[in-house]
Structure 1
Amino acid sequence: MKKRDFILIGAVLVLALLCWVVPRAAGIFAGEDASRVRITVGGEEYGTYSLSEDQTIEINDTNVCEIKDGEVNMIQADCPDQLCIHQGPIHIQGETIVCLPNRVVVEITGNDKDEQLDGVVQ
């Protein structure tokens, strides 16, 4: 390989790195208006809570969720694997915490109450 080849490879790598870093630094991929937390148990809505209000939510004596500093975290669960606790906090719209044994789903949603469907597949 010649010196020009190394320069070309370096330039391509720098360009690829910039294409990855610049949008993230500008906040282009940040969550859109994530301000609500929806909790469902067994497919039925348990409650919807504000992400801006710090609170602790006990879910059917099996799980405990904590909303603090704009993040949601599962802090207690009686399931055997504890994966929902080890997942850590979520704060971006569309992120979820799932506790399969207890059938609990915690989801970050947007502020829009009249959410539009993207499409329907039959």
Structure 2
Amino acid sequence: MKKRDFILIGAVLVLAFLCWVVPRAAGIFAGEDASRVRITVGGEEYGTYSLSEDQIIEINDTNVCEIKDGEVNMIQADCPDQLCIHQGPIHIQGETIVCLPNRVVVEITGNDKDEQLDGVVQ
């Protein structure tokens, strides 16, 4: 192998590393503004809860969510596959837990300021 081959391999490795690190760093910074959990059942909003307040939420006698230490986790569900429980806790804005048989979606949202319009283009 020539010197140019090593330079090319090194450049590809650095690029691959940056492609792996940058999205994760962006997710960490996005998670700083996340402060609420929105729960919808069948496409209709069931409730919005604060991530800063530890609580247990029972959803239509089918699912139970727990908010603890700034994370939300599905701790009980009567669906057959239990995928929503095995997914684990979420805490970064945009992350979701979905229980498809019960049509329950748990989503991390940001503050009210994140949901306002940034601008209007005509």
TM bucket normalised to smaller: 0.7 to 0.9
Verify the 8 A CA contact 1:23 1:29 in the aligned structure 2. Answer: no
> For the structure 1 residues 82 and 36, does the alpha-carbon distance in structure 2 shift closer, same or farther, using more than 3 Å as the test?
same
Structure 1 pair 44/28, CA: closer, same or farther in 2 (3 Å)?
A: closer
5+ residue gaps, structure 2, are none
CA displacement 1:72-119 (0-9 Å, x = unmatched): 000000001111111111111111111111111111111117824689
Deviation of 1:31 (Å) = 2.4
Q: 1:87 to 1:119 in 2, by over 3 A?
A: farther
Q: 1 or 2, which has the higher helix percentage?
A: 2
Percent same amino acid at aligned positions?
98
Displacement of 1:4 in angstroms is: 3.1
TM-score (norm 1): 0.80
Report the TM-score when normalising by structure 2. 0.80
Structure 1, unmatched stretches of 5+, are none
CA RMSD of aligned residues (A): 3.3
Matches within 5 A, 1:85-96: 85-96=85-96
Distance 1:119 1:83 in 2: 39
Report the more deviating stretch, 91-100 or 11-20.
11-20
